[in-house]
Structure 1
Amino acid sequence: MRTLEERFWSKVAITDPDSCWEWQRSRFPKGYGQFRMSTGESPRKAHRIAWMLTHGDAGMLWVLHRCDNPPCCNPNHLFLGTAGDNVEDMIAKGRARSGFAADGMRLREAVRRLSDEDIREARREHALGVSCRSIARRLGVHHTTISRLIKGDHWKGYAA
């Protein structure tokens, strides 16, 4: 029986250390590789598993790509950051869809206003049935910003 590492890396096209090592199996809709750690478990993002196998668990931090290539699993192309770091990176690299949240607030400003703990708490409250409008009032942002946060439009994969 193959180890977890053997199973995982056999699905990655490993080339030289500076190139992208692309995931060769199934992918999530936005192009990130998906890998099941064990039978019956939900798939996880392959680049997060690459980070874990190389550096250990990322915990609540995001695993970001220097190369902006979603299927890339090269640990040399990955780094850790917060949800805010991810949005800052997206804006700096010109990947923001419109550059604005639904309420007209710049994404950068919305992320600065909402800490990672705010994001976790908003998701917990919403899971318990608190409305997006109530959460938004408490955090001082527009309800559609909270709705998009809950759906993952701006902070998709948080703590994934």
Structure 2
Amino acid sequence: MKQRKPFRQTLIDGVDKRGKNECWLWKGPKRNGYGRATQTVKYGPNRKRRFWSAHRAYLIFVAKKKVPDDSVVCHVCDNPPCCNPSHLVVTSQKWNMHDMAKKGRKVVSRGNHNGSAKLTDKQVEIIKKALKARIVSRTEIRDRFNISKSVVSTIVNYTSWKHILPLSPIETVKNTCHPSPLSKRLRASIRKHGMTATARRLHWSVGKLRRLAYPLALGYEYRKGKM
């Protein structure tokens, strides 16, 4: 029966060790550009395989460095298969992401390009227009698009979908309004007497007057079933 090679020796043999300041590249299998090492460990009467990032395993088992479980091992040389301990630094994920952004290697998938997105760019634009014009409530938005209240809040507070900017109220009316004869008359009255005075004369709330006078984006398309 063939004797298993110790994991430490597997790591040593799997690295193309060169000069002290050069990158020591992993010669074995890779995943997403990073070296991948397999360790066989005892699990009761059986054995099981544990997969490691080659550079992390090399730092722990060969260079004998202490690496906490909640830490990440980053490449100072920005060369994923490199296992040279002098090119590796133990740090936090937050620092790693900051370093990626600083070096221009951070890729952010926004809007439609994010696989977990439940909305499209167009829908978010409509939501922001409608909420800015106060023609619908957050509850109506939540029910219409089947999203949670927290998602609506992140859209409103620009925590998410920051790249989608709503039009100004004037541009919104100009570009997305579909005026009816009633809304035209109401707008004329608003221009002449003001929003509050017109609502008081009609015994309406300001919200109702605004919805009828300015049937913008979501309000119009919601009623017409276009979304």
- TM-score norm. by structure 2 comes to 0.43
1:73 aligned counterpart, secondary structure:
coil
Write 1 or 2 for the structure with the bigger share of strand: 2
- Structure 1 residue runs of 4+, over 4 Å off? 133-137, 139-143
In structure 2, relative to structure 1, the CA distance for the partners of 1:20 and 1:135 (3 Å cut) is farther
Partner of 1:85: 95
In structure 2, relative to structure 1, the CA distance for the partners of 1:135 and 1:42 (3 Å cut) is farther
Which blocks of at least 5 consecutive residues in structure 2 are unaligned? Answer: 41-46, 112-147, 162-227
Superposition deviation, residue 56 in structure 1: 2.7
Matched residue type, 1:73: C
Partner of 1:47: 55
In structure 2, C-alpha distance between the alignment counterparts of 1:42 and 1:135, rounded to whole Å: 38
In structure 2, C-alpha distance between the alignment counterparts of 1:89 and 1:57, rounded to whole Å: 19
In structure 2, relative to structure 1, the CA distance for the partners of 1:31 and 1:142 (3 Å cut) is same
Superposition pairs of residues 99-110 of structure 1, within 5 angstroms: 100=108, 102=110
Superposition deviation, residue 78 in structure 1: 0.3
Query: When the two structures are aligned, how many residues end up with a matched partner?
Result: 112
Superposition deviation, residue 135 in structure 1: 8.7
Partner of 1:18: 21
Write 1 or 2 for the structure with the bigger share of helix: 2
In structure 2, relative to structure 1, the CA distance for the partners of 1:6 and 1:90 (3 Å cut) is same
Identical-pair percentage: 26
Which of 30, 33, 51 is the equivalent residue of 1:27? 30
In structure 1, C-alpha distance between the alignment counterparts of 2:34 and 2:15, rounded to whole Å: 12
Which of 59, 71, 76 is the equivalent residue of 2:81? 71
Contact 2:67–2:90 (CA<8 Å) still a contact in 1?
A: no
In structure 2, C-alpha distance between the alignment counterparts of 1:89 and 1:17, rounded to whole Å: 24
Contact 1:50–1:73 (CA<8 Å) still a contact in 2?
A: yes
- TM-score norm. by structure 1 comes to 0.59
Which blocks of at least 5 consecutive residues in structure 1 are unaligned? Answer: 104-132, 144-160
Higher RCO by CA contacts (8 Å cutoff, separation 6 or greater) = 1
